Structure 1
Amino acid sequence: MRGGAAYDEIADWYEAEFLPQRAVADDELEIGRTLRLLLGPGDGPCLELGCGTGAYADSIRSLGRTPIGVDLSAGMLRYARRRLPIVRGDATRLPVRDGALPAVVAVMVHTDMPGYPEVLREAARVLAPGGTFVHVGVHPCFCGGFADRADRNAVLIRPGYRDSNWTKESWTDRGIRDKVGATHRPLAELLHMFLDAGLAFERFAEGGAPTPIVFAVRARRSG
């Protein structure tokens, strides 16, 4: 899951400087629209994996659901506790009983989680039969250390997309990745993780323009 120590070091910067910028960027990336489309209205608890400072709690709450957050970073959770109930924990070993939740989401965090296959298996484990899992993440085809997005109208894709790796290489020094790094997996590998975890695909979405920055999936626990 998120590197707790790495995010502890940038928590104050993230809350004071990055989060206000991200609020504007999230509209451009269509993250709110994607959550409304894929998660949709409902009730009961919705567990957010890697909740960080709780930036998406209001979006989840607006759908009638009750957000609950889990994250490794104590620094990020200092801010999150203002926005939603939280627990400090590892998404690869969730402190939740089997089949307990109607919904689980992971929003813009899978690149922070080298153990994302285990995270997906845990999400499937804690979901009730037929429960919904929504993944919203950076688009693996167009975002990563191999992608230069300095010109949004002409994204330059260098060799490296097909390599699963961790890197701090980034086209900008004003974002997150140059500070904490990112794990990249090609699209096919990412999708196979869902199937291996026992999650059945239902819907897909992309966000951002002119080249997608966000790739999202709605899946359900099989059986």
Structure 2
Amino acid sequence: MAAYDEIARLPIAQADAARLPVPDSSVAAVVSVLAHTDMPAYFAVLREVARVLRPGGVFVNLGVHPCFCGGFADRGDPAAVLVRPGYLDGHWTKESWTDQGIRAKVGATHRPLPALLNAFLDAGLTFDRCAETGAPLPIVLAVRAVNR
């Protein structure tokens, strides 16, 4: 068995997700887990994903459903989650149903689901699968897309 220092490692880079230090068409897959779609440059990040993916490369995005980015979903009663007005108008807000969470402190840029999904297509990615999970309203949105 090889010593820990002898084990091959994947390269690591700390970088802006909208400007990756990776050559064009150089990776087979990109995975994003809980990198919120409410970040200001998320559409630029999608374009960057398409740039670094090989043709036919796969992008998997698993994150919080966009209806929960911002002060739009009141989860004060788990049995009766209320999606407040404002969900569809796409704007930045620090409004939140609780003052204990990060959204109340730093805010969120809400993007309605159609705008978010269309941004994948605009970046050159084609949907392979989408899924929502959670009850009574979806909490997680998962997207698997392929670079054209």
TM-score (norm 2): 0.84
What is the CA distance between 1:209 and its match in structure 2? Answer: 2.4
Structure 2 unaligned runs (5+)? 1-8
2:112 match:
186
CA contact (8 A) 2:28 2:57 kept: yes
* Structure 1 residues 23-172: aligned runs within 5 Å: 85=12, 87-141=13-67, 143-172=69-98
2:135 match:
209
Distance 2:10 2:96 in 1: 31
Distance 2:37 2:96 in 1: 13
Q: Which amino acid aligns with 1:195?
A: L
The structure with the largest helix share of the pair is: 1
- Count of residues in Structure 1 that have an aligned counterpart in Structure 2: 140
Q: Which amino acid aligns with 2:102?
A: I
CA contact (8 A) 2:60 2:144 kept: yes
Given the alignment of the two structures, is residue 177 of structure 1 paired with residue 100 of structure 2, yes or no?
A: no
| Identical counterparts, % of pairs | 67
**100 and 165 in structure 1: CA distance in 2 versus 1, 3 angstrom threshold:** same
**145 and 156 in structure 1: CA distance in 2 versus 1, 3 angstrom threshold:** same
What is the CA distance between 1:143 and its match in structure 2? Answer: 4.8
Q: Identify the structure with bigger relative contact order (alpha carbons < 8 Å, sequence gap 6+).
A: 2
TM-score (norm 1): 0.58
CA contact (8 A) 1:121 1:197 kept: yes
CA contact (8 A) 1:111 1:182 kept: no
CA contact (8 A) 1:152 1:211 kept: no
Compute the RMSD of aligned alpha carbons: 1.9
